[in-house]
Chains A and B, each alone.
Chain A
Amino acid sequence: MANFFPRWSNWLPLKLAICSFVIVCGLTAGTWYYVTPKYTKVGYEPIQPVPFPHDVHVTQLGMDCRYCHSFVEVGAHSNVPNTQTCMSCHQQVQKDNPKLEPVRTSWKTGEPVQWVWIHRLPDYVFYNHSAHVNRGISCASCHGQINHMSVVADAKPMSMKWCLECHRNPENFLRPEDQITNLDWKPDDVNPAEFVGKYGKPAGVTEDWSKKTHLTQREIGQTLKERWNIQTSENCQACHR
């Protein structure tokens, strides 16, 4: 009886299995890497109608974030400045700069400047700026070192996993309430004696932290978390409501 199948077909099932394994793994890995916010969102740097340099305004000129984003502490939504805010300085400063033409046109015509939206969350996520910045979360935690960006880019993935990183361990990110808009703040900037005098120590810590040369982020965060009674929610409906 003749062989129905040629000889090479003996290895075919194994080859098929190995091939499909490699393809499936490759697809999974590719999706994992390329189709997540970490890849698709971070670095998004659209061209704005006016190339507003945050580094010049914040780092060189020392303006506070809240001069323009004025309602970040009271509203869920952090506003972008209206034309009037820009013009209050730029009527005197750089008043002939061609880059500011859209702002001047807007001031003349009343048509608002259309800023491209970068840090955009999906519609099914509720985020309240005031709840975060009033409780020790800095602008830099989500928006990165905007004070050194000449063109604003998305610095963090803003995925759900990333949100939960902080909601599970807020002590890794909390900082004193007067340093929220200081985007260059480091835990080393804290004077331990002053800090402990102001905020105390977490319960159960026997060591005298005020004697330490410097405090770690974790120590600062734990103190503040207890002091402000911060109970971050991991419940779905905290954000998806």
Chain B
Amino acid sequence: MKRVFQHPPAPTAGRRYWRSTDELADTPEFREWLEREFPFSAAQLNGDEWSRRSFLKLMGASVALAGFGVSSCRRPELYLVPFTKTVEWTIPGKFLYYSTAMPRRNGAIPLLVTTVDGRPIKLDGNPLHPMSNGASDVFVQAAINELYNPLRAKRIAENGQTKSVADFEKYLNDLRGKIGDGGGLAFLVEETHSPTRERIRGELEKMFPRMRWCVYDPLRSEAQNFATQISFGDDLRLVPRIERADVILALDSDFLDCAEGDIASSRAFTSRRRVSAPKDSMNRLYVVENRYTLTGAMADHRMRLPASQIPLIAHAIAMKVATATKDAGLGSVLATLQVPAGAAQFDEHWVDEAVNDLVSRSGAGLVLAGSQQPVVVQLLVYGINSALKNVGRTVLLRELHRNQNDNSILQLAGEMVAGRIKQLFILGANPVFNAPRALAFDPSGKTWIDWPELQKKVPDIIRLGYYEDETSALSRWNLPASHFLESWSDALSSEGHYLAIQPMILPLFGGFSELDLLTAVMGKPKVDGPELVIQWQYRGWNCAQPLERTNPAADPGISRDRAGARLFDRRRTLRKQLVAAGNARSDHEADLG
């Protein structure tokens, strides 16, 4: 029996809920679509000539004819289409592999790209490079889909209207006249660790001496950078050597997850979990965290603790380590901190055991703090590592060129509120979507205002974006950005190895790279080849020797790292002043300081 389906009647009482976004929007098109009995093309068969009956008759006849006739039995003719000109290295049906690198916030990842007929189809870690050893992560695997994503920005647009490259060049030439000495010029860039971009930025600063350069990443840890700077020095960064650690304590540090850590960390960690000979030992992992993470899942001893308690547990651990080691550096940090009685609520026994383990493996332990932890936790963790003589053994100091002229988005917001920014170049970032709220205080309206409001105060915003997104909507110009598989560039790995980024394919939608746009701002012609990147190499970058040698005693890098422990002590006075100035300086204050 045929069942007639009756739509449930709309409820007369109570709240009506919408069942699709179209229903919520309730556009005339949707109404029309809803009230029609058949989809739009079927409804057009109602006329006399094209009734559904005659349509079916005709279709039936043609299908029958196609079956009886021989034409449908013939094999379809297919073609062999070779290249017109020989493409070097290409063998039809064989893969071609190139090495390149993927720029990332934490440092670039060396890659091996599989290409077919000039199209990249698969990304893997470079098995010959120590930073990857063939490993990759979810972001690397997803990057190939990002390249072919049909939703990419494909056009040059001014206020939403499609424009040509010539229009943009003309605009840029006019703008260059307006920039003058760069008093109103600002760049908002993402962290890519590209030495060539830094060099071009230097040239830009010569041309526009008063310009601002702001590095912004929603996940960038200012606290960690600040703590490293005041603890060890300006041009240094800490690199944990997890494979050397027998005992690891992670304070809200999800170092095994690719978002915060990197593949090198995961490999280093798992290398000590693989026991293949009787002499092999395993590491032990203590994790204190307030949520479930990959690192927590790998922990031997996991303590769940509210986020508010993590500074307290860091303090408690530091106290116990200081008592056990009588370390003056750590003592000086602790002397400036006061913890209210009864605030700590965690298992003391767990902490005792973890500290005993760390102290007994002095020099082979490692304490890590999550990048989102405040400066005071970072300082305590550095102090603990220093007291346990881990610095130089499981935590190495590596050179990192930090440009002293780097600004943060907060400083930029302050300038924008004051109306001092006239030309803003946003390279890649999407601050309208992900910048923190209440970035700047507007003295005229006596309110805190958000980034979108700020962006409306700048007349000339040029956005280089991979998608036409929220930030493009509030920018004057939007340029399509090229993918890292489409452009020449370079980057440093998280340990400071220099990695060249070479294109695998010409820009699919005529995109610009960051380097293209920066050279265009200077009025220089576009460089298609690797010249910009090669130029960098000839200039001779004073690169740290990142690759470790087999004999640690002969390695100047190691001896410099050992000196790092002394450095932490030497900076005691400075640190004391800074810490005394405010026990837990917030990230924002650290920026503005």
Interface residues of A (CB under 8 A from B): 40, 46, 71, 74-77, 79-85, 106-107, 110-117, 120
Known: A83-B85, A106-B84. A114 touches B79 (CB 8 A): yes
Q: Once bound together, how far apart are the Cα atoms of A61 and B92, in whole Å?
A: 27
State which of B78, B80, B85, B94 has its C-beta within 8 Å of the C-beta of A80.
Answer: B80
Known: A116-B79, A117-B78, A117-B79. A79 touches B84 (CB 8 A): no
Q: Mark B87-104, 1 if CB is under 8 A from A, else 0.
A: 000011110000000000
Q: Does B276 contact A (CB under 8 A)?
A: no
Contact between B94 and A74, CB atoms less than 8 A apart: yes
State which of A71, A84, A120 has its C-beta within 8 Å of the C-beta of B91.
Answer: A71
CB-based nearest A residue for B77: A116
Q: Mark B59-93, 1 if CB is under 8 A from A, else 0.
A: 00000000000000001011111111110000111
Which DSSP category, helix, strand, loop or mixed, fits chain A's interface? loop
CB-based nearest A residue for B94: A75
Residues of B near A107 (CB, < 8 A) are 84
Contact between A77 and B81, CB atoms less than 8 A apart: no
Known: A46-B77, A116-B77. A75 touches B82 (CB 8 A): no
Residues of B near A112 (CB, < 8 A) are 81-84
Contact between A77 and B93, CB atoms less than 8 A apart: yes
Known: A114-B79, A120-B78. A71 touches B84 (CB 8 A): no
Residues of B near A84 (CB, < 8 A) are 83-86
Chain B nearest CB from A84 CB (Å) reads 5
Q: Once bound together, how far apart are the Cα atoms of A82 and B81, in whole Å?
A: 8
Contact between B77 and A82, CB atoms less than 8 A apart: no
Chain A nearest CB from B445 CB (Å) reads 61
Residues of B near A75 (CB, < 8 A) are 91-94
Residues of A near B85 (CB, < 8 A) are 82-84, 110
Q: Once bound together, how far apart are the Cα atoms of A71 and B86, in whole Å?
A: 12
Q: Mark B144-183, 1 if CB is under 8 A from A, else 0.
A: 0000000000000000000000000000000000000000
Known: A46-B77, A116-B77. A82 touches B93 (CB 8 A): no
Residues of A near B77 (CB, < 8 A) are 46, 116-117
Residues of B near A40 (CB, < 8 A) are 75
- Nearest 3 interchain pairs by C-beta: A77-B93, A114-B79, A82-B82
Contact between A71 and B92, CB atoms less than 8 A apart: yes
Q: Once bound together, how far apart are the Cα atoms of A114 and B83, in whole Å?
A: 10
Contact between A77 and B92, CB atoms less than 8 A apart: yes
Q: Once bound together, how far apart are the Cα atoms of A81 and B91, in whole Å?
A: 12
Known: A84-B85, A112-B84. A79 touches B92 (CB 8 A): yes
State which of A46, A74, A79, A120 has its C-beta within 8 Å of the C-beta of B82.
Answer: A79
Q: Once bound together, how far apart are the Cα atoms of A79 and B94, in whole Å?
A: 11
Contact between B91 and A80, CB atoms less than 8 A apart: no
Q: Once bound together, how far apart are the Cα atoms of A106 and B85, in whole Å?
A: 10
Contact between A110 and B82, CB atoms less than 8 A apart: no
Q: Determine which residue in B77, B78, B81, B84 has the highest number of CB atoms from chain A within 10 A of its CB, and name it.
A: B84
Q: Determine which residue in B77, B78, B80, B85 has the highest number of CB atoms from chain A within 10 A of its CB, and name it.
A: B80
Residues of A near B83 (CB, < 8 A) are 82-84, 112
